[in-house]
Structure 1
């Protein structure tokens, strides 16, 4: 069961817009077993009359996130829901394949923290996020990273218990940083 937090930037969110967004995003509920989560929907309209829709749905084991921009707000909502649905299907297919291969329970990481920004005057940490690390293998970590749209992902290695990082390289391949436990 989804709850919704729909807000607008540079736009008044009318009941019609709210209802349309909720109706479309609610289609994703069929993929999840009665989990109560809040879907965060952010609607933006720019001066060039384009509309951007961002949706984030944080589950305990996965965070779905997508954004789309088009000349039409309703079109952007449709596009972002299509993107989220593709992410869910890809995730479910991957997990089903993994569980058949391993015939064991698959544990999935929670949301990674966001990168901080560096200022020219020196390093200034402007945001701190905490998140729980859950055991997984590097392939699952790459999948989670891609679904979140990030270029790195921190996770606990299921086999070694070490804290590792996967990242996307400039050549679009992936790298793995393994840490030593002392």
Structure 2
């Protein structure tokens, strides 16, 4: 799983990069076919923003989060992606049972 991290008015420090990688690597628990995760961190006025597109074998999952703290925004983003991947997994399970 490849993680591409970029910043919009945000300096991507090694600590920030490491935090994002730690948080998003856990997504692989739900889906081992994730090929790429693109993350954009940004600041707009006083809001810290984090958004991500996760590519899973031909499909994409998108999530967006904002907070007053960038690390909190990353946490929220990781949780949203986590939930979306769990839902995706449930849908696939249901789909298999209906055939």
TM-score (norm 2): 0.92
Unaligned runs of 5+ residues in structure 1 are: 103-182
Give the aligned CA root-mean-square deviation in angstroms: 1.3
Is 1:4 the counterpart of 2:3 in the alignment?
Answer: yes
Greater helix proportion: 2
1:54 corresponds in structure 2 to: 51
Q: Compute the displacement of 1:98 (Å).
A: 1.5
Unaligned runs of 5+ residues in structure 2 are: none
1:96 corresponds in structure 2 to: 93
Q: Which has the larger radius of gyration?
A: 1
Write out per-residue CA displacement over residues 42-74 of structure 1, whole angstroms, 9 at most, x where no aligned residue: 000122x21000111112242111010111100
Matches within 5 A, 1:159-178: none
TM-score (norm 1): 0.52
Greater strand proportion: 2
Give the paired residue count.
Answer: 99
Ranked by relative contact order (alpha carbons within 8 Å, sequence separation 6 or more), the top structure is: 2
2:61 corresponds in structure 1 to: 64
